[in-house]
Structure 1
Amino acid sequence: MASIAYAFKVLCLSLLFIVVASRSSVKPKVFNVYRHGAKPDGKTDNANEFTDLWKRACARKSGSSKIYVPKGTFYLGGVEFVGPCQNPIEFVIDGTLLAPSNPNDIKQDTWINFRYINNLSISGSGTLDGQGKQSWPLNDCHKNPNCPKLAMTMGFAFVNNSRIKDITSLNSKMGHLNFYSVHHFNITGVTITAPGDSPNTDGIKMGSCSNIHISNTNIGTGDDCIAILSGTTDLDISNVKCGPGHGISVGSLGKNKGEKDVKNLTIRDTVFNGTSDGIRIKTWESSASKIVVSNFVYENIQMIDVERPINIDQKYCPYPPCQHEQKGESHVQIQDLKLKNIYGTSKNKVAVNLQCSKSFPCKNVELIDIKLKNNGVENGPASAVCENVDGSTSGKMVSHNCLN
């Protein structure tokens, strides 16, 4: 009887192994855009071919799908890829996707947009060419209320358990990669590039997101390398090279009503090279919302000739004059920040600037082994400025210590 039971168990395990092996060996159905009518001539708009192919791949029920973009230049007007899809879907880009040079030819906020999708994978050696040069002179909204709305390169909204790997984003009209209400997403091996004087070309921008992991990524733009906005939590950033650009910024925060807390951020093993800022938190001096920024760890960060290596600015005002004296101080509470092993060179004598709110002072700020040297035109050792900060220092402090 025992031998029969044993034989039955072996049979069941064998059948299970065969099922698992057969599943793992099933390859996704490949939808090659070229074989389905897309023309890699850099002129023909392939938007309809791409979206039609997406609908077919997304609706397939019998297994996963792969959309493949081979080498070549595929001109693409504004496109949206919308789910939910029946199964996991891959988007492999080995060619170049070319945006219209005229910004008016993209009649949506984002050139390539993914919405309401789970288990999406974007990868390949290809390039997203935003052709932003013609658009950058039009980006004057701070002084021109009739400025045109320029499109971001690629956006993700309500996308979960997904990833983007190895793609290059070049010369976006506005931001490169935009994330809204995205959860459990990996970004790795990505290259993002635009000239340092290209306005508002943020590298990666995210709001209302959670569990985003960014690693082994190179970003050089005319704005924030990474911008972290309202409602973003549990963000891990490692091995990122940033420059040119405005650093990795939290905010700006507090300008609008209904904003949400930002918490649980880790940035480690990262290099800022020639940026205007390195570590940056910015909140509007007159806040419309009361939120908390908390549980941040910055560790093993190298600064190479950064203008403001460590910068907490709770009197943020990009286009003065501002009137915080009449409107009140920032109501954004910053607390529980640890900055450890931050080293390198500063282009300003003030290498550490902690300018916190008088109404809501920064709390529990730890500075550990801050080794920043002044490499600017003003002589003397690097210094620090602290306003309305409760915290502590330990380890080696090369810059002047302004915390007791």
Structure 2
Amino acid sequence: MATSRMFQILILSILYFSSMILAASPTYNIQSYGAKSGGKSDCSKAFLSAWGRPAPPPPQPLYMCRRGAPSDYNVIGRSGSWLKFERVTGVSIYGGTLDAQGANLWACKNSGKGCPKGSTSLAFYNSNNIRINGLVSLNSQMFHILVDGCRNANLVNVRVSAPGNSPNTDGIHVQQSSGVTIMNSHVSTGDDCVSIGPGASNLWIENLACGPGHGISIGSLGWDMNEAGVQNVTVKTATFSGTENGVRVKTWARPSNGFVRDILFQHLVMVNVQNPVIIDQNYCPNHQNCPHQGSGVKISNVKYEDVHGTSATQVAVKFDCSKTRPCSGIRLDEVNLTFRDKPATASCSNAGGTADGVVKPSSCL
């Protein structure tokens, strides 16, 4: 199977059939159709044969082929997604390793040459009741895992790994989705460990190790005038090590009807993080498409509770909110951040809220 299309079918089949090991679902032994494990043989015919067959009467264990992406980044680099699920229900992925071998494409991008945009390693669109447990994603060309337009997705014990200088390799990106849980996972990458886009709601992130990377980011939001908001997000028990940011909310300095509300950041540890706590509503790279404008995204009811550790810069807490729609309802509770064993500082602009308990640096709200 030399073509990109057939390769995608192969991997898609691998993941699809791994979803069927739930006790209540039919289970397929792919070896009985001629597949061989070990990652050195092409299993596509076996998977395609099994796909059209009824399940064997007694449930049997599933054996998966394991294989990385083609070394030529052009094969999947222009496809948008290497592995793509759309309008599916009840798919579960247990274990396995995806290696997109993105290094050559990153080098091309860094050289300034004309290169493909790159491909997301694993993408779910408009799907329900998704479970990913124990998956390892390595060296994605772009996003490692994308959840877009989905309901009820659980990502547990996921490990993402790419070099800290790899461009646009977000670990997990969630948008237009509700009921997404990310737990007990470790993300090391060159961009956001978890990025949260428009339309995300009821998102729970717990026990996450992040670093290297850009931290956990809500945004960037507000590029479009009519954009779905982000609400009911909890980030609990997370450690950020040597990251560019800890927890960040980022919006474009452009008019928009979007919003961010009801956010809880709780029990967070910062280890030499450049911007441990940051709201940036004046995002405007290269001063293009948004100079001298104010963000229309309304940020409200954001709580930071039990956040402690070390900042790599003196300004450990920065709330740079919109001049046209100031932040409101920000709450700091037991925040203790230091800078090189010295007091850190806080910076506020157009931000309102309260501080409770021990708060260091001193609150500027």
- TM-score, normalization by structure 1: 0.79
Unaligned runs of 5+ in 2: 1-21
User: What is the aligned partner in structure 1 of residue 286 from structure 2?
Assistant: 320
Query: Which residue matches 2:336?
Result: 371
Deviation at 1:62, TM superposition (A): 9.5
Q: Cα distance 1:120–1:393, how it changes in 2: closer, same or farther (>3 A)?
A: same
Shift of 1:178: 0.5
Deviation, structure 1 residue 27: 6.8
Q: 1:262 aligns with which of 221, 224, 230?
A: 230
- How far apart in 1 are the matches of 2:26 and 2:234? 38
Quick check: 1:68 aligned with 2:39?
Answer: no
Confirm or deny that 1:271 pairs with 2:239. yes
**In 1: Cα distance, 2:58 partner to 2:86 partner:** 18
| Structure 1 pair 45–365 and aligned structure 2 pair: CA distance change class (3 A) | same
Distance in 2, matches of 1:177 and 1:67, equals 26
Rg (Cα) greater in structure: 1
Give the corresponding residue for 1:298: 265
Given the alignment of the two structures, is residue 119 of structure 1 paired with residue 90 of structure 2, yes or no?
yes
Q: Which amino acid aligns with 2:149?
A: S
1:119 Cα deviation after fit: 1.3
Matched-pair contact (CA < 8 Å) for 2:91–2:129: yes
How far apart, in 1, do the equivalents of 2:275 and 2:24 lie? 50
CA, structure 1 residues 315+307, in 2 after alignment: closer, same or farther (shift >3 Å)?
same
Residue type of the partner of 1:272? F
Structure 1's unaligned 5+ residue stretches are 1-24, 75-95
Take 1:130 and 1:338, find their aligned partners in 2: how far apart are those partners?
Answer: 37
Alpha carbons of 1:26 and 1:391: their partners in 2 closer, same or farther (altered >3 Å)?
Answer: closer
355 and 108 in structure 1: CA distance in 2 versus 1, 3 angstrom threshold: same
Distance 1:137 1:67 in 2: 41
Deviations 1:286-332 (A, max 9, x none): 23x31111000111110011010001000113x32447444x11100
The residue number in structure 1 matching 2:355 is 393
- Pick from 83, 100, 103 the counterpart of residue 130 of structure 1: 100
Partner of 1:236: 204
CA distance in 1 between partners of 2:289 and 2:82 (Å) = 37
2:305 to 332, 340, 344: 340
What residue is the counterpart of 1:179 in the other structure?
147
- Residue deviations 1:11-45 (CA, integer Å, cap 9, x gap): xxxxxxxxxxxxxx977543344443445575655
- Counterpart-to-counterpart distance in 2, 1:117 and 1:165: 17
Residue in 2 that maps onto 1:22 = none
Residues matched between the structures, number: 343
Per the alignment, residue 86 of structure 1 pairs with none
Question: In the alignment, is the contact (CA less than 8 A) between 2:246 and 2:270 conserved in 1?
Answer: yes
Q: Distance in 2 between matches of 1:291 and 1:315?
A: 15
RMSD: 2.6
- Could you tell me whether the CA contact under 8 Å between 1:285 and 1:316 is conserved in 2? yes
Distance of aligned partners of 1:139 and 1:223 in 2 relative to their CA distance in 1, 3 Å threshold: same
- Residue 226 of structure 2 contacts residue 258 of structure 2 at CA under 8 Å; is this kept in 1? no
1:30 to 18, 27, 32: 27
Cross-structure match for 1:4: none
Specify the alignment match of 1:108 in structure 2: 79
Match of 2:14 in 1: none
What CA distance in whole angstroms lies between the structure 2 residues aligned with 1:223 and 1:380?
A: 29
Q: How far apart in 2 are the matches of 1:320 and 1:391?
A: 31
Sort the Cα spacing of 1:105 and 1:363 in 2 relative to 1 into closer, same or farther, 3 A.
Answer: same
Q: Percent identity?
A: 36
Residues 337 and 102 of structure 1: CA distance in aligned 2, closer, same or farther (over 3 Å) = same
Counterpart for residue 153 of structure 1:
121
Q: Is the 8 A contact 2:37 2:63 kept in 1?
A: no
CA offsets per residue over residues 377-401 of structure 1, 9 Å max, x none?
A: xx84100000000101111012132
SS in 2 for 1:304: strand
AA at the equivalent of 1:320:
N
What amino acid is aligned across from residue 74 of structure 2 in structure 1? N
8 Å CA contact retained: 2:225, 2:258: no
In structure 2, the CA distance between the partners of 1:324 and 1:111, relative to structure 1 (3 Å rule), is closer
Question: Contact (CA 8 Å) 2:198, 2:227: kept in 1 or not?
Answer: yes
Partner of 1:201: 169
Q: Deviations over 1:88-112 (max 9, x none)?
A: xxxxxxxx33111212112521111
TM-score (normalizing by structure 2): 0.87
